[in-house]
Chains A and B, each alone.
Chain A
Amino acid sequence: MNDWSQALSHHPAAGGEAVATITGNRGLQIEEPLIFEQDSPGKCGVDLPEPPAFRSRLGGLERKGPVGLPGLSEPQIVRHYTRLSQKNYAIDSGLYPLGSCTMKHNPRLNEKMARLPGFADVHPLQPQSTVQGAIELIDTLAHWLKTLTGMPAVALSPAAGAHGELCGVMTIRAALTARGDPRSRILVPESAHGTNPATASACGYSVGSIPANKSGRVDLAALKAKLGPDVAALMLTNPNTCGLFENEILDIAEAVHQAGAFFYCDGANFNAIVGRVRPADLGIDALHINLHKTFSTPHGGGGPGSGPVVLAAELAPYAPLPWIVHGTDGFKLVEHAAGQADDAIGRLKGFHGQMGMFVRALTYMMSHGSDGLRQVAEDAVLNANYLRVRLADVLSLSFPGICMHEVLFDDRFLKDTGISTLDFAKALIDEGFHPMTMYFPLVVHGALLIEPTETESKASLDQFVAAVRGLVERVRAGDAVAFQAAPQFTPRRRLDETNAARKPILRWRPEPEQRQAAE
């Protein structure tokens, strides 16, 4: 471990002089200009033949001027993107305890399988007779998801969790409309992901907020008081974003159903219960599953994801197109809202869904099997509780008692120190860890939400605990300036986000244009 005080003598705090190198590089941290700033005009990273002479049929609408792309050769481009990659933290390089994000190991077998030509090199609109294996894979994934959740149907086309929410709430709205019972409001707990209220609003609903009780869970009495004939659904995350299982969930489901509303569950945290608890047994009507969380498809720096939605029987007829049916001569894709799919809400995405993610997720599921998946939930919960007990005496635990796959602390331990949750998180970066989720959920002050996942070893957790405990000692020693100056050992120090938003620069422009734009 670094000696903090010694390190400081080499790297003075913010505003001070950094060690100057001739190049501006700092060892492995190499400064890398934009690709547009490395233009060798006329260079090209591919060798393509010139087509034989032919008569253009572009209808007189040929592009007149150049696009403005820079010219580079392949080695320059490989080096450029390799250098960029080295400026990123990743689950491959270390613990990435972002709460509610489930940053688990991404097995490389998933990548290999997704690249089989029979999956990667097939077109969504080939004749269905030529893609029976691809449809079989989707159908197999559907079977696994339905079995793990206990739900009778699944819509696979949603491209991400928020897209799955949209799908689920649309089916709810369609079912209510069919019932002749249009309703206007969706209830969302305070601790919900921002996507939940945004989804409700995108589906034309107003949003009602449900407060949390003292134990960090839905206040059942407050929920009951807000339930009425105007409420279409409750959107609840379970386990919730405080890392707690909603222990009154059966009463919640009953109250929601008694009010004639549907129970939507945000399945972002399904990792905590996979193989041990089936959402169907909790009274849930619709739930999306983030394949890029629970089922290890890579986050890719922000996507692509995949957000299948499992649906109760009452919602299943409204599932979006396409549907898969088992015909006499193999699988069939139903692509139009007719016949048995008459009530389908239509399409949510260009084609059939995130096939590349389906292959990865099914690879992961088959690798684990029913036994391994149950172990996933158990180890994820064990790891989080281990961090809870190893850190509870130095950080401030928001809610006492056991947690599920993630543990929530708040900033009481930083009170009157001049150090914020942000400062503490940035100091963790200098210790070689990606920070936890900060300032979310909103139900506690200065939240620090830690989700280790099941793919961390005990040794890795112990290193993290030692780093956090060491930092808390420095908090107590009153070294606020050093925290405020962190991180120091990263490719960039803290970045000015205020000015970035005030005067947005969202693209590169050639020098003269840039000056013009500034004026």
Chain B
Amino acid sequence: MRYLPLTDADRRDMLAAIGAASIDELFADVPKAARRDGLVDLPKAMGELEVERRLSAMAAKNVAAGSVPFFVGGGAYRHHVPAAVDHLIQRGEFLTSYTPYQPEVSQGTLQYLFEFQTQVALLTGMEVANASLYDGATACAEAVAMANRVTRRNKAVLSGGLHPHYRSVCETYARFAGNQLDAQDPAPGGGEDLAGRIDSDTACVVVQNPDFYGEIRDFTALARICHDKGALLVVVVTEVLSLGAITPPGEMGADIVAAEGQSIGNALNFGGPYVGLFATRDKFVRQMPGRLAGQTVDAEGRRGWVLTLSTREQHIRREKATSNICTNSGLCALAFTIHLSLLAEEGLTRLARLNHAAAVAAADRLAAVPGVKLVNRSFFNEFAVRLPRPAAPVVEKLAERGVLAGIPVSRFYPERTDLADLLLVAATETVTEDDIERFAAALTEVLR
């Protein structure tokens, strides 16, 4: 076996050094009834070529996003990632190191985490960010739990514009922690009264920008009302690239930002691994979940980095920790940091503009298809259209025609017949004019 360095002679010598007659003696503590002599019923070892063949066969059964006109978003976005990103994150010193518990030999990881935290704080307009969480949805659930700790209240009001998967994750976490949620009905196009839902038990209001249907919303007034009533405003961002174009949550008065960072640096990966971004205000930092890298000096007075404020964390605080999280999303955070470094100020704003331009072109073209209506007044790179009939079968028919057209909202709300005609469409910089034309032509044909 190519990954196992011991030879049979080594094994014999080592057993002799140990004083064991056979390897079985080393498993003597396993109760007899639980010992298995034979092999489990699975295929035997394979060489690289054979493994590649089998996995490539499975991969070939999928339609890769890059092979067709592609308009799927809904919290995960296809963007071009510069070649340098994947090259750098595959350096073994990044790829195969552990959580930086020994800072003297982990300065590389700690420094990029410090850079990552700074970038996330700048992008969201917040004061401080952590070293990442699993993904945007779990970051959202952690934000709700944190708001409960900060305010010592236990109810969260969730906007109907929140991604339904984020809502579901919040519901799962809250149900088992014994906290309350007041989740509003899905609200394509806005028009919900969130301020009216706040009462003396409300720890936070959770909103999304752009919302799940792509509408860009101003939460400045809502933030003020939250603060007047002693609640926090949590702003979720599922398309982090939008922050290169629109007012960041920090400027609207957000207290916590929970975002999905996949769009910068990370592939679609059929849903994971992604990278949860989590930012807040300095005064709440000791209630924050997750790891934090901090600046310090070494014994010679040179600047260096360490994991810090770990008294919030499970390995020190055990059942009193702010979260049970241990492993986070380090390597995806590195990909985010390298990609954002490459983009720089100019590249980020231009990339955001390219996305918006592609979406504007797609929205205008699709709205010209007979029977199709644009729902949004505003949007960044994703919008909702209302079709003249249920969207799910239309999407299937378009897939048969080689166009991945977007997501029928009924996939999230199968019981809501009033949403059945809605289709979410995303257009990023990877979409060409020709892609839009093929989409519009195929849609015209399917709807005819």
Is A482's beta carbon under 8 Å from chain B?
no
The reply to whether A72 and B267 contact each other, CB–CB distance below 8 Å, is no
A61 vs B88: C-alpha distance when bound (angstroms): 35
The reply to whether A301 and B94 contact each other, CB–CB distance below 8 Å, is yes
Nearest chain B residue, comparing its CB with the CB of A207: B319
The reply to whether B247 and A46 contact each other, CB–CB distance below 8 Å, is no
Interface centre among B74, B268, B275 (most CB of A within 10 A): B268
**In the complex, how many residue pairs between chain A and chain B have their CB atoms under 8 Å apart?**
712
- Provide the residues of chain A in CB contact with B205, threshold 8 Å: none
- Provide the residues of chain B in CB contact with A72, threshold 8 Å: 341-342, 344
- Provide the residues of chain A in CB contact with B366, threshold 8 Å: none
Partner of B66, one of A121, A165, A207, A363: A121
- Provide the residues of chain A in CB contact with B95, threshold 8 Å: 90, 92, 106, 111, 298, 300
Of residues 108 to 129 in B, which have CB atoms within 8 Å of A's CB atoms? Answer: 108-109, 111-112, 114-115, 117-119, 121-123, 127-129
A319-347 vs B: 1/0 string, CB under 8 Å?
01100000000000001100000000111
- Provide the residues of chain B in CB contact with A404, threshold 8 Å: 26, 29
Given known contacts A62-B246, A492-B298, A501 and B98 CB-to-CB distance under 8 angstroms: no
A250 vs B35: C-alpha distance when bound (angstroms): 12
The reply to whether A369 and B118 contact each other, CB–CB distance below 8 Å, is no
**Chain B interface size range:** 35 or more
- Provide the residues of chain B in CB contact with A366, threshold 8 Å: 43, 46, 51, 54-55
Is A400's beta carbon under 8 Å from chain B?
no
- Nearest CB of B to A439, in Å: 10
- Provide the residues of chain A in CB contact with B6, threshold 8 Å: 379, 382-383, 454, 457-458
- Provide the residues of chain B in CB contact with A113, threshold 8 Å: 51-52, 55, 59
Is A493's beta carbon under 8 Å from chain B?
yes
A506 vs B172: C-alpha distance when bound (angstroms): 31
Partner of B319, one of A197, A301, A388: A197
- Provide the residues of chain A in CB contact with B371, threshold 8 Å: none
The reply to whether B353 and A69 contact each other, CB–CB distance below 8 Å, is no
A120 vs B58: C-alpha distance when bound (angstroms): 12
Is B334's beta carbon under 8 Å from chain A?
yes
- Provide the residues of chain A in CB contact with B178, threshold 8 Å: 204
- Provide the residues of chain B in CB contact with A136, threshold 8 Å: 58, 61
Count residues of A near B (Cβ-Cβ below 8 Å): 207
A207 vs B272: C-alpha distance when bound (angstroms): 32
A329 vs B108: C-alpha distance when bound (angstroms): 49
Given known contacts A58-B378, A455-B3, A278 and B105 CB-to-CB distance under 8 angstroms: no
- Nearest CB of B to A65, in Å: 9
- Provide the residues of chain A in CB contact with B102, threshold 8 Å: 89, 425, 429, 434-435
Given known contacts A121-B267, A131-B62, A508 and B97 CB-to-CB distance under 8 angstroms: no
A373 vs B43: C-alpha distance when bound (angstroms): 11
Of residues 139 to 156 in A, which have CB atoms within 8 Å of B's CB atoms? Answer: 140, 144, 147-148
- Provide the residues of chain A in CB contact with B21, threshold 8 Å: none
- Provide the residues of chain B in CB contact with A258, threshold 8 Å: none
Is B388's beta carbon under 8 Å from chain A?
no
The reply to whether A42 and B346 contact each other, CB–CB distance below 8 Å, is yes
- Provide the residues of chain B in CB contact with A390, threshold 8 Å: 17
B279-315 vs A: 1/0 string, CB under 8 Å?
0000001000001111111111010111011110111
- Provide the residues of chain A in CB contact with B55, threshold 8 Å: 113, 116, 137, 359, 362-363, 366
A457 vs B351: C-alpha distance when bound (angstroms): 49
- Provide the residues of chain B in CB contact with A48, threshold 8 Å: 347, 350-351, 354, 429
The reply to whether A372 and B45 contact each other, CB–CB distance below 8 Å, is yes
Nearest chain A residue, comparing its CB with the CB of B133: A159
A282 vs B35: C-alpha distance when bound (angstroms): 10
Is B368's beta carbon under 8 Å from chain A?
no
Is B444's beta carbon under 8 Å from chain A?
no
Instruction: Pull 21 A–B residue pairs with CB atoms less than 8 Å apart, ordered by A.
Output: A45-B82, A46-B344, A48-B429, A57-B356, A58-B378, A69-B119, A82-B91, A89-B97, A98-B98, A120-B268, A131-B62, A133-B57, A160-B327, A198-B321, A276-B36, A302-B327, A347-B172, A351-B271, A366-B46, A390-B17, A402-B20
Known: A103-B96, A434-B102. 10 other contacts (CB 8 A): A44-B343, A57-B378, A63-B244, A88-B106, A113-B52, A122-B65, A122-B268, A321-B168, A349-B137, A362-B55
